[in-house]
Chain A
Amino acid sequence: MNDIIEAVNRAAAEAVAKINAATDSAELEALRIAYLGRNGLFPELSKKMGNVPPEQRRETGSAFNTGRNQVQQALNDALDKQKSTGKSGDAIDLTLPGRRRSCGHRHPITQLTDECVEVFGRMGFIAVDGPEIEDIYHNFDALNTPDDHPSRDPKDTFYFPDGRILRSQTSPVQIRVMETHTPPVRIVAPGRVFRRDTPDATHGMNFHQIEGLYIDRNVSMADLKSVLQNFAWEMFGKDVKIRLRPHFFPFTEPSVEYDFSCVVCGGKGCNVCKQSGWIEIAGAGMVDPNVLKNVGIDPEIWSGYAFGLGLERLAMLRYRIPDLRFLYDNDVRFLGQF
């Protein structure tokens, strides 16, 4: 320990004490000048470093830096404190609202569409679009729908004077893809579909579906199950279980409906799942051999599955939206929540 180190330590202690006792910013500024200013005490002390014997220089330099940093730190702290307690004249009100930029909001239906496309995209499904004004062949005939099937009734499906219709499902995109691509094909088709339903809490003139199709050699229901299982996990978390139930659709055989274990109660039973522990999500199945034949694909060589789901239903489930009409009302206070 030499004289300079002692002087530095003394000066630092003295300065910190004075800084802590200072009551306004003018006083702090005076102390800054007195200790750290161009002609202040610390610069003065640093000039004496040349006189220190070489073997002590490292120690002395280190002590000097420590002392000066202590003073600087004390000054900074004191200034912060004064500003935040509003004691200095230039203080700002930190509690005022932040200056924000407005940010955009994706519609909940689009969020789910995009999310589904991403999830299936990771499993190798390509998103494709299809026409909304569709012909009877693609929407019904090619999908093995019997001529007198109720869904063809003008009570249920919108017709145009030229005999075409507004597609009642996204399934016609399956046909269009299979007509133009040789297997293997693996697609998802999101989009708007139309049913002649009077709008109410769970119905609308149109809603959105996403359709999946995979045609390849040796495709089985086991492949279907894993895709749906993955989908459930990615959308609602790893705890979600799925189950398949036998069902009937004209364009698949075997046909199933698939349920997710209730995402609200975890399967224990609640109002959302009507105490069953399961929530019906949508339909699926192995593409009916007649459908494959209709598009010129040999069902003896190729097999495949198709699945579909309603995005409004998924949105209502995911975001707990009680009434489907909110999704088409476009109130900015609603849209801004998503």
Chain B
Amino acid sequence: MDISRKWLADYVTLDCDDAVLCHKLTMAGIEVEHVEKLSSVPAGVVAAKILERNAHPGSDHLSVCKVTDGTEELQIVCGAPNCDAGCIVPLAKIGTVFHTPEGEFKIKRSKLRGVESFGMMCSEQELGISDNNDGLMILPADTKLGTTIESLYPGDTQIELEITPNRPDCLSLWGVARDVSCQLQCEAKLPEITVPECDIQIPDLVTVEDKELCPRYIGRVIKNVKIGPSPDWLKERLESIGLRSINNVVDVTNFVMMELGHPLHAFDRNALSGNRVVARRAKAGEKITLLDGREIELNESHLVIADGEKPMALAGIMGGEFSGVTESTTEILLESAVFKSSHIRTTSRQLGISTDASYRYERGVDYDMAEVASIRACQLILATAGGELASAAMEVAGVRPEEPVINCRFERIRSLIGTTVSNERIVEILRGLRLRVEDITSESCKVTAPLFRLDLTREADLAEEVARIDGLDKIPAIPVQGKFCHSSTEDVYTPVRKIRDTVIGMGYYECIHYSIVSTASALADKRFEKSDLIELDNPLSPDSAWMRPGLLGEMIATVGRNLARGNRDMRLFELDKAFCKNPEKYPEERYELLMLITGRRHPERYSSEAEADYDFYDIKGEVELLLERLGIRNYRFVIPEDNDGRFAPGMVMELQLEGKSAGRFGELAPEFSAKWRNASAVFFAQIDFAKLLDVSGHTVKAYKELPQYPGTSRDIAFLAPADMESGSVLDFLKRCKVANLESVQLFDIFVDDALKAQGKKSMAYSLSFRNRERTLTDAEVNTAMDKVRSKLAAELKVELR
């Protein structure tokens, strides 16, 4: 809401500059969003003294003056009759910019009929101070030369406020003044609001059929009004807060709404069938064309103000096209009503219409203000549009709301705020806010909030009032104290962070994607079908309607985006939530881990070291390393029977933890990667976070004694069928139960054209032997090796070399 300083000053004495006022407002909870100076005097106009006045050689009506602003002497050519030597006048120096309705104009050095002029001396009209254009503005003789005229004639200041929804009482100049007066500890006063007595009764002028939706309606009739332009003071007030002047009556209703916060409507009484109004629910099928030209089809949920026949206004929101005041209006019915706030809010939102009136009604207006606003508007209409009152206040009223009485315990207020504010100060603040304070004891008091403070119903609400008026800056910062509470081990945050950090430690870049995704993105994770997806009821666009079932879809998009920008080397991961509707697959909401690598293994190096791209064994090694870092030893990689579609054929393995599937890794299916140009193969691992957590959770790291005796190793090489898996060799050696065999490590795989032709490959392993109690003898190791050789040859059918 916009207010202007000058208007505010009509109700409260402001002994502070704009900056202090704005600070006070903000610190009292009426936040200042924006401040704009509305001064009409351009910067660069200063007080100057005319030293000499000489006749212009080429003109009868121009003078050539010598002028000083206290720092320099200038020659100015002037056409004003009163540019006499000795006068102090406003001087617009070179460079001053005037804003006129015709546009900007800038004072330049110029020649008038052959005589040079270095500025312009101004009249009051030229400076926008008044309409006087008879001659130069003459400043008081004691004006200090060089003083800016702007500082002598400060304009108004427009202040934009953010009013929180709990403070509808501040949606008016008077409301803000009332609150400011408490902060500034001064008095706020309304002007005298009266109308001449009139006791003409028009019993059927106002009918209210639904008193729940319309608990108060006051109608007054004024006849013989003359619609015309508003007086300057009224235009100026409205313009100072950015409202446009329309005509005297409409301007008055707007003025009173902004002044008192109570919306009003002026009907042309002669346009009302039966010259009366009825507040009733609309009938199904009734229509109304609003002031803005929109035609609305109404139903029983809408409250309308109707005349004898048809709806004339959408109650509390907007008038109908033909209901309002026009140039030919002579008799008006002035409405000042109270409507139920939730009803106005619902209707306004449903129809998508928000007006200054609905904005106030939906937040709640002051029941008692309806009468004051009605009188105030009549007073101003009579003053600006003439005419005379033709009825008394014709009022239909429901029940006046009860004012809540709040028990206010001083100690409780202090303990909530944390200051030592005294009982007396608490009472002073509450009274300053126009609350009724009674039954004051040393411990408590009874507080009655007026109807304009609907937000005050409880002690905590009073604590807030005391805190904001006394000043939140008075609250001390008491160092943290209190008992330690429950343990963090029961929550998932810590393990998520631990695993995230582990993956980062492995050189991955963490990604964060939106979790609402398109159909294509959701179904890119081929573990899921459409029926597994959780769909939003009101997505932003029809295509981003799904909760992501896995992290793959968005990650693929990220890879594509990076490749398109020339970023070809990536080590990316995301550890976050994914969602699934099918409880047989996954819980509704779960954490998942996705790691992805593509491009060069060592892009930061050069020569041959930089050339190699990632391959399958890199992603496998990444998974192994992750498990090792998390202390998980009880895992297996198996070749799954099905490729779920996410992976390239034959390029996928499954991770099993404690015998159960816990994710897969391998090369991304060409379906996704084929469209990328210049891309290297993409590898990723998807790991079920819950299973990882479960297993790492009960993995205990324990010290293992370091060996005391030296070990020894022997190599073995053989020709094996080309399709023999290294894993089966290792499994076989494990099953052989060779004495003292500590570990086996592959050190070479070799195929040349000749071997290839035979369907064979050469495999070489290094076997390490060690005994924990003693040093092994050569003989022992040789015996063991003999056993290995013969078993390999006999059972695995390999050719030893």
Interface residues of A (CB under 8 A from B): 96-97, 99-107, 109-110, 114, 117, 121, 123-124, 126-129, 131-133, 148, 150, 153-154, 158-161, 166, 181, 184-187, 190, 192, 194, 196, 198, 204-206, 214, 216, 218-223, 225-227, 229-230, 243-248, 253-257, 286, 288-289, 303, 327-333, 335-336
Cβ of B503: which chain A residues have Cβ within 8 Å of it? 104
B681 → chain A closest CB, angstroms: 17
In the complex with contacts A160-B534, A244-B475, A245-B26, A332-B570 CB distance below 8 A: yes
Cβ of A286: which chain B residues have Cβ within 8 Å of it? 416, 460, 463
Within 8 Å by CB of B567, from A166, A255, A333, lies: A333
In the complex with contacts A102-B571, A196-B540, A148-B475 CB distance below 8 A: no
Cβ of A254: which chain B residues have Cβ within 8 Å of it? 416-417, 460, 463-464, 467-468
Q: Given the complex of chains A and B, what is the CA–CA distance between A257 and B164 in angstroms?
A: 12
Find the B residue at minimum CB distance from A229: B477
Check: B703 CB closer than 8 A to any chain A CB.
Answer: no
B263 → chain A closest CB, angstroms: 19
Interface residues of B (CB under 8 A from A): 26-29, 31, 164-167, 342, 345-346, 349, 415-419, 458-461, 463-464, 467-468, 472-473, 475-488, 491-494, 496-497, 500-501, 503-516, 534-540, 544, 547, 558, 561-562, 565, 567, 569-572, 576-577, 579, 588-589, 602-606, 609
B506 touches A104 (CB 8 A): yes
Q: Kindly name the residue among B349, B459, B512, B602 whose own CB sees the greatest number of chain A CB atoms within 10 A.
A: B512
Name 6 A/B residue pairs within 8 A (Cβ), A-sorted. A97-B604, A161-B535, A192-B577, A196-B538, A198-B540, A288-B460
In the complex with contacts A114-B497, A335-B509, A330-B464 CB distance below 8 A: no
B537 touches A327 (CB 8 A): no
Cβ of B458: which chain A residues have Cβ within 8 Å of it? 253, 289
Within 8 Å by CB of A133, from B345, B565, B589, lies: B589
A328 touches B164 (CB 8 A): no
Q: Given the complex of chains A and B, what is the CA–CA distance between A21 and B743 in angstroms?
A: 56
Q: Given the complex of chains A and B, what is the CA–CA distance between A205 and B535 in angstroms?
A: 15
Cβ of A256: which chain B residues have Cβ within 8 Å of it? 472
Within 8 Å by CB of B486, from A97, A131, A181, A221, lies: A181
B508 touches A104 (CB 8 A): yes
Cβ of B417: which chain A residues have Cβ within 8 Å of it? 220-222, 254
Q: Given the complex of chains A and B, what is the CA–CA distance between A244 and B577 in angstroms?
A: 35
B340 → chain A closest CB, angstroms: 11
B672 → chain A closest CB, angstroms: 16
A126 touches B164 (CB 8 A): no
A126 touches B419 (CB 8 A): no
A226 touches B480 (CB 8 A): yes
> Total A-B pairs in contact (CB under 8 Å)?
241
A160 touches B510 (CB 8 A): no
Find the A residue at minimum CB distance from B30: A246
In the complex with contacts A218-B415, A331-B565, A223-B493 CB distance below 8 A: no
Within 8 Å by CB of B464, from A205, A220, A255, lies: A255
A159 touches B418 (CB 8 A): no
Within 8 Å by CB of B537, from A161, A230, A248, lies: A161
B491 touches A105 (CB 8 A): no
In the complex with contacts A223-B481, A253-B463, A105-B510 CB distance below 8 A: yes
A245 touches B29 (CB 8 A): yes
A246 touches B482 (CB 8 A): no
A84 → chain B closest CB, angstroms: 21
Cβ of B504: which chain A residues have Cβ within 8 Å of it? 104-106
A319 → chain B closest CB, angstroms: 14
B467 touches A187 (CB 8 A): no
Q: Given the complex of chains A and B, what is the CA–CA distance between A109 and B416 in angstroms?
A: 34
Within 8 Å by CB of B493, from A104, A154, A190, lies: A190
A222 touches B475 (CB 8 A): yes
In the complex with contacts A117-B493, A243-B473, A330-B535 CB distance below 8 A: no
Cβ of B562: which chain A residues have Cβ within 8 Å of it? 330-332
Cβ of B482: which chain A residues have Cβ within 8 Å of it? 124, 184, 186, 214, 216, 219, 223
A101 → chain B closest CB, angstroms: 7
Within 8 Å by CB of A127, from B477, B488, B500, lies: B488
In the complex with contacts A126-B485, A222-B418, A154-B538 CB distance below 8 A: yes
Cβ of B571: which chain A residues have Cβ within 8 Å of it? 102, 104
Cβ of A204: which chain B residues have Cβ within 8 Å of it? 514
A226 touches B478 (CB 8 A): yes
Given A246-B468, A335-B510, 8 more A-B residue pairs with CB atoms under 8 Å apart are A102-B571, A110-B512, A158-B539, A181-B486, A222-B419, A248-B164, A330-B562, A330-B572
Q: Given the complex of chains A and B, what is the CA–CA distance between A244 and B467 in angstroms?
A: 11
**3 A-B pairs with least C-beta separation:** A222-B418, A246-B29, A220-B418
A148 touches B567 (CB 8 A): no
A331 touches B512 (CB 8 A): no
Cβ of A255: which chain B residues have Cβ within 8 Å of it? 464
B607 → chain A closest CB, angstroms: 10
Find the B residue at minimum CB distance from A177: B486
Cβ of A221: which chain B residues have Cβ within 8 Å of it? 416-418, 467, 472, 475
B483 touches A110 (CB 8 A): no
Find the B residue at minimum CB distance from A180: B486
Find the B residue at minimum CB distance from A225: B477
A127 → chain B closest CB, angstroms: 4
A332 touches B493 (CB 8 A): no
B37 → chain A closest CB, angstroms: 14
Q: Given the complex of chains A and B, what is the CA–CA distance between A159 and B479 in angstroms?
A: 42
Within 8 Å by CB of A109, from B29, B507, B512, lies: B512
Find the A residue at minimum CB distance from B567: A332
Q: Given the complex of chains A and B, what is the CA–CA distance between A97 and B472 in angstroms?
A: 57
B472 touches A159 (CB 8 A): no
B611 → chain A closest CB, angstroms: 15
Find the A residue at minimum CB distance from B489: A126
B514 touches A148 (CB 8 A): no
Cβ of B510: which chain A residues have Cβ within 8 Å of it? 104-107, 110, 335
Cβ of B536: which chain A residues have Cβ within 8 Å of it? 158-160, 166
Q: Given the complex of chains A and B, what is the CA–CA distance between A128 and B472 in angstroms?
A: 30
Q: Given the complex of chains A and B, what is the CA–CA distance between A331 and B472 in angstroms?
A: 44
